[in-house]
């Protein structure tokens, strides 16, 4: 199973802290589609620029590594992986 952890505003959106996903297309993109279908995860809600990539308003990590360093949406995800999803936060 792939363990997905939702933080801050993302957790508020989906209503849970953790989801366990048994199957995936094998990529992060496939996993995100499953999260949209099953939990109502909508990356676009976090983007303030409608023309920007909706995922640019999120921090997504696979096993503690930012997706920019492991293949982006094409990054492989498999049994035992932990995916963490955070909104970009600002403030002071």
pLDDT at 72: 92
Point out which residues pair with 58 in neighbouring strands: 87
SS3 for 52?
Answer: coil
Q: Could you state, in order of their start, the residue ranges of all structural domains in the chain? A: 2-87
Give the C-alpha distances (Å, rounded to integers) separating 65 from 15, 83, 85, 91: 24, 9, 12, 24
Candidate CATH numbers 3.40.50.1980, 3.90.930.12, 1.10.10.1100, 3.10.20.30; the one for domain 2-87: 3.10.20.30
pLDDT tens digits for 44-76?
Answer: 888 777 766 777 889 999 999 999 999 999 999
The answer to whether 47 and 57 have CB atoms below 8 angstroms apart is yes
Q: What percent of the chain has pLDDT over 90?
A: 67
Q: Is the pLDDT of residue 90 over 60?
A: no
Predicted TM-score (pTM) of the model is 0.89
pLDDT at 44: 80
Q: Is the pLDDT of residue 92 over 70?
A: no
| CA 39 from centre of chain | 12
């Amino acid at each position: 199973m792939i363990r997905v952890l939702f933080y801050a505003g993302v957790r508020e959106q989906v209503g849970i802290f953790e989801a366990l996903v048994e199957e995936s297309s094998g990529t992060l993109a496939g996993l995100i589609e499953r999260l949209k279908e099953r939990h109502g995860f909508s990356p676009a809600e976090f983007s303030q620029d409608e023309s920007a990539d909706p995922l640019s308003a999120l921090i997504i990590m696979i096993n503690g590594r930012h997706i920019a360093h492991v293949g982006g949406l094409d990054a492989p995800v498999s049994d035992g992986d932990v995916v963490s999803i955070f909104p970009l936060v600002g403030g002071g």
